[in-house]
Amino acid sequence: MHNGPAGEVHHDYADNDHVKFLIAFMDPGQPYSCVQWGNMPNGGSSQMVEDTGSQIWSLFESQSATPSTVWIDHEMRVHDKMNGAGSWSLASRIDAMLEACGPLCEDGGCTTTSGDVNEDAMLNIQDLITMVNHILDSSPLMDCALESADMNMDGTVNIQDLISLVNAILGSARSAELNGTAVVEYLTSGEDMVIKINSDIDIAGVQLSMINVSQLDIEMKDNSHINQDANFSGGINRYLAYSMFNQPFDSRTTEILIFSGANLGVDDFQLTVADINGDALILSHSQKGKTYRTGPHSFELADLYPNPFNPSTQISFSLPMDDFVKLSAYDVRGNEVDVIFEGAQSVGQHSYTWNASSLPSGVYYIRLQAGKLVTNQKALLVK
């Protein structure tokens, strides 16, 4: 799948003149990430499948049906869907997406200065407030303003960009690489939750998101010079703690109190801790004596190698915690065709070889599950 700013017509042709059929039964106007688009569910029709041959024709060959064309815009939203689209239909919808895309799709792209999120040609407190509102999801940015807000160009606007903006406004020079780490403990105190952060360097900012059905009050202990902002929307509590003058927190031990949050677990939180440069610290999480992430390890299923393959491929993944793992393979209809590994695994990197010699050529999906965490990777077997 291509992901260009002008949107993409998913009705493509390979060098061998075979159509790459892409079926996407999703609601128009709804945004989906590349991961959501690419993941294969366990059955059902809400799926995206790409084929370089004709293996999956049977998925949509019903009553002389023709392949569907799906238009996806620069925000990963379904603009339109059509069966048997002709050249006029293709072009008119592309033109409509280009017009809606605005300056992002014009020749030369955006020219807004990095950090100038209100696009007034100045870096000041207004940009800071605007970025805070975006991170808290109270007033999301769009188009060139959104591009300008991503100051470290990592594809996400968060506390790291906010600290970078503060430094840009103050004209502060970047310090040497700090490469900080921190241990994060999730402790219960009666009906409340205390998040205790012990870092080996000075902290300049914290961003916290947590899933909960209702709004929760969040408060940082001490640190009277630190700004604290919060917002609740869509079942997510968002919280920011930072200094408008990039002054570090009072101590390298920071405690955040979440009232009535004792029932929450590590999986309900997303936490980013940043230093005075705006770089994220490597975090190790623990709750009730169990370590959930140590060092740089995260829950990730790496690209298969080789892919396409015949008949074996190497599957590598990393775990942020000791857990029971199931690594399995599914066909395009969502049927489990092989269990590659099932059992206990420790935190860190792991690798297995999948031999698919007993299966026919086609598209398969490798599924990794560890506790509540699930991810998928597409595999192409060519014999």
Q: Is residue 174 pLDDT above 50, yes or no?
A: yes
As a whole-number percent, the residues of the chain with pLDDT over 70 amount to 77
pLDDT at 182: 92
Q: Which domains does the chain have, with CATH numbers?
A: 8-105 (no CATH), 125-170 (no CATH), 181-293 (2.60.40.680), 300-381 (2.60.40.1930)
Query: Which amino acid, residue 59?
Result: L
pLDDT at 155: 78
As a whole-number percent, the residues of the chain with pLDDT over 90 amount to 48
For the whole prediction, is pTM greater than 0.85? Answer: no
CB contact at 8 A, 242 and 205: yes
Structure confidence by residue, pLDDT tens digits, 57-88 = 444 444 444 556 777 776 667 777 776 666 67
What number of other Cβ atoms are within 10 A of residue 272's Cβ?
Answer: 17
CB contact at 8 A, 294 and 216: no
Mapped to the 3 state alphabet, what secondary structure does the chain carry?
CCCCCCCEECCEECCCCCEECCCCCCCCCCECCHHHHHCCCCCCCCCCCCCCCCCCHHHCCCCCCCCEEEEECCCCEEEEEEECCCHHHHHHHHHHHHHHHHHHHCCCCCCCCCCCCCCCCCCCHHHHHHHHHHHCCCCCCCHHHHHHHCCCCCCCCCHHHHHHHHHHHHCCCCCCCCCCEEEEEEEEECCEEEEEEEECCCCCEEEEEEECCCCCCEEECCCCCCEEEEEEECCEEEEEEECCCCCCCCCCEEEEEECCCCCCCHHHEEEEEECCCCCECEEEEEECCEEEECCCCCCEECCCECCCECCEEEEEEEECCCEEEEEEEEECCCCEEEEEEEEEECCEEEEEEEECCCCCCEEEEEEEEECCEEEEEEEEECC
What number of other Cβ atoms are within 10 A of residue 85's Cβ?
Answer: 21
Least confident segment among 267-271, 278-282, 319-323, 358-362: 319-323
Structure confidence by residue, pLDDT tens digits, 348-376 = 788 999 999 999 999 999 999 988 788 88
